[in-house]
Structure 1
């Protein structure tokens, strides 16, 4: 097992409730934190990042203090808007469509919308079509 801190319950409760309400989602422990997958594709991952570790996350988020980070998928034009808006959003090094978000303080409705969109990007079209997407 790793020695990374656990994701705060208040964050995990919200993210898990949103993700597991979607069709055929699997929640699993990741190398650190928790991730949600549709089939073999990860559409959300939440973890605690400390300054310098995990190094790629800490560098991308430019952290000077520990923070809870959520990564998810997005596409243009929303992707561009999120990344240009700056904190709490940041570009990750894991693909052009992956966004990081510091979630120490967050709007549950915004998180629901972002995660639902992320799921719909990766889910088979048949599953995505039955999802009630927030407006």
Structure 2
């Protein structure tokens, strides 16, 4: 499967702009979808669910699709709020500090930029994370 081909360009383009603006970030094809990494750590992953595939994402997001979902890392009080808020957020079972977000028809790109910047800072080495200017909430 062509990993990035399933993610709509109207979602991939703004995600790419946010993620690649962060230092030492690279984009790569994931087993499904696209992921962004800082050094060896993935801090964001986007994938489109179609006909219940990939099944782990379909179960976690409670949809057979078509739907595009983003996963990222969070922590502190924000983590529990996001995981318990409900749509568009969900708590995937593959990591206690991972949050999923369904990217519906009109994603809030400012909120997504904040969440991805925070995710980057959680996954990046401390000295690199300190160089990042975080968006104002």
Quickly name the TM-score band, shorter chain normalised. Answer: over 0.9
Report the CA distance between 1:98 and its aligned residue.
0.5
Report the CA distance between 1:93 and its aligned residue.
1.8
Q: Does 1:58 align with 2:58?
A: yes
- What TM-score does the superposition give when structure 2 sets the normalisation length? 0.93
- Which residue of structure 1 aligns with residue 129 of structure 2? 128
Count of aligned residue pairs for this structure pair = 135
**RMSD of Structure 2 on Structure 1 (CA):** 1.5
Where does structure 1 differ by over 2 angstroms across 4 or more consecutive aligned residues? 1-5
- Which residue of structure 2 aligns with residue 70 of structure 1? 70
Report the CA distance between 1:20 and its aligned residue.
0.4
- What TM-score does the superposition give when structure 1 sets the normalisation length? 0.94
Contiguous gaps of at least 5 residues in structure 2? none
Q: Check 1:16–1:5 CA distance in 2 against 1; reply closer, same or farther (3 A cut).
A: closer
Q: Does 1:115 align with 2:127?
A: no
Contiguous gaps of at least 5 residues in structure 1? none
Deviation sequence 1:26-83 (CA, Å, 0-9, x none): 1001111110001111000011012421111100110043100000000020011111
